[in-house]
Amino acid sequence: MLLDELTQQAKLKTTNTIYESKAARDAFYQNQTWRNKRKEILRRDNNECQVTKSLGGVDKDKLIVHHIKPLEYYPELAMDDSNLITVSHTNHNIIHGLTLAKFNDEWW
């Protein structure tokens, strides 16, 4: 199921860590290029959580454009459409593990 798959992929790591620091990730997320990409992905995904959709539901509340393979370890996929997916805040917390507050920076 999609949620399991996303949860597994969120744990992947490499040594290619140009976005390892919070400052580097903040700079990425604040960049206009990302903001435009985020809007594009939200549109592509019909402004709804794709995990909920895969289960037959609709959730358009508090959406996050999530990096399937983490930005931290896959910088080359930072803007790759195939590595981006719209998910609800609730499912995003599940994907990353509820206590990993550092991933909140993906929120914007």
Q: Which stretch binds Zn ion (CB under 5 A): 11-19, 46-54, 72-80, 100-108?
A: 100-108
3-state secondary structure of 64: strand
For residue 92, give Cα distances in angstroms to 3, 16, 32, 102: 9, 23, 23, 12
Instruction: List Cβ neighbours of 20 (8 Å cut-off, separation of 6 or more).
Output: 72
Q: Which stretch binds Zn ion (CB under 5 A): 14-22, 30-38, 53-61, 65-73?
A: 65-73
In the set 66, 78, 83, 84, which binds Zn ion (CB under 5 A)? 66
Q: Least distance to Zn ion from the beta carbon of 76, Å?
A: 17
Q: Least distance to Zn ion from the beta carbon of 89, Å?
A: 10
Q: Least distance to Zn ion from the beta carbon of 41, Å?
A: 12
Helix axes 2-9, 89-96, angle to 10 degrees: 50
Interface with Zn ion (CB under 5 A): 66, 106
